[in-house]
Amino acid sequence: MARRNRHEKRRSRPPWGKLLGGKPIERHLYVLDKRIDLGESPLRQAQYLRMLCLLHHYGIVGHVPTYPIAGLADTGWLVWYNLALAIASELDDSLHIIDAKPRGKTARRWRGPEGPVLLGLVDALRKRKPRLSIRSCLHQLQKKNPDSLGRMTLDQLVVRYHEAKRYHRSTKQSSFR
């Protein structure tokens, strides 16, 4: 029987693989450089749903109470749930709740939730003033939001707008097929 080394590394991947997605749950969301706190309840709900995935993965059946919201349900089972969560989070970082880092100015940011926000703002300006070009709309948005959109040059913002438009148009069309 082989002895285990005391200095042995922790497992590099959990025993259930990429079942939970591999990424931790982020406590904040950034939209146009504004930090939005998601609150504790939705984060705990997300952890609970991931734990339910583990329950189904291992084929454990039986009554599973719903996660208590604002103390309205029986909480006697939470001690055991918290123990299971602590053990599982030692094996998989997907169950951790972390503070999100602000996103950079790159294209990936505009392909996420910030892209449709930018597209919507430009569309709203163009509905009020149909003769405005996209470039002048973006320039006005930069003036109104100097701390978020003003950090980029106007040329960069125009390129990011068209990239977001191209990306979100293609994903919207592919989802309807």
* Alpha-carbon 15 to chain mean position: 24
Q: Between β-strands 25-26 and 97-98, what pairing exists: parallel, antiparallel or unpaired?
A: parallel
Residue that terminates a domain, selected from 76, 98, 120:
98
Amino acid present at 9: K
- 92 and 114 part of one domain: no
Residue-wise pLDDT tens for the chain (177 aa)?
A: 455 555 556 557 888 888 888 889 888 877 766 778 888 888 899 999 999 999 999 999 888 888 877 666 677 788 888 899 999 999 988 999 888 777 665 556 677 778 888 899 999 999 999 899 999 999 999 988 887 777 788 998 898 899 888 888 776 654 444
Do 88 and 41 fall within a single domain? yes
Provide the pLDDT for residue 52: 92
Q: Considering Cα of 95, then 100, then 104, then 109, what sign does the dihedral take?
A: positive
* Structural contact between residues 85 and 62, judged by C-beta atoms closer than 8 angstroms: no
pLDDT of residue 18: 85
- Kindly state the tokens that stand for 101: 């880092």
- Give the position of tokens 């405005």: 132
**Could you give the number of structural domains in the chain?**
2
- Which pLDDT score is estimated for 11? 57
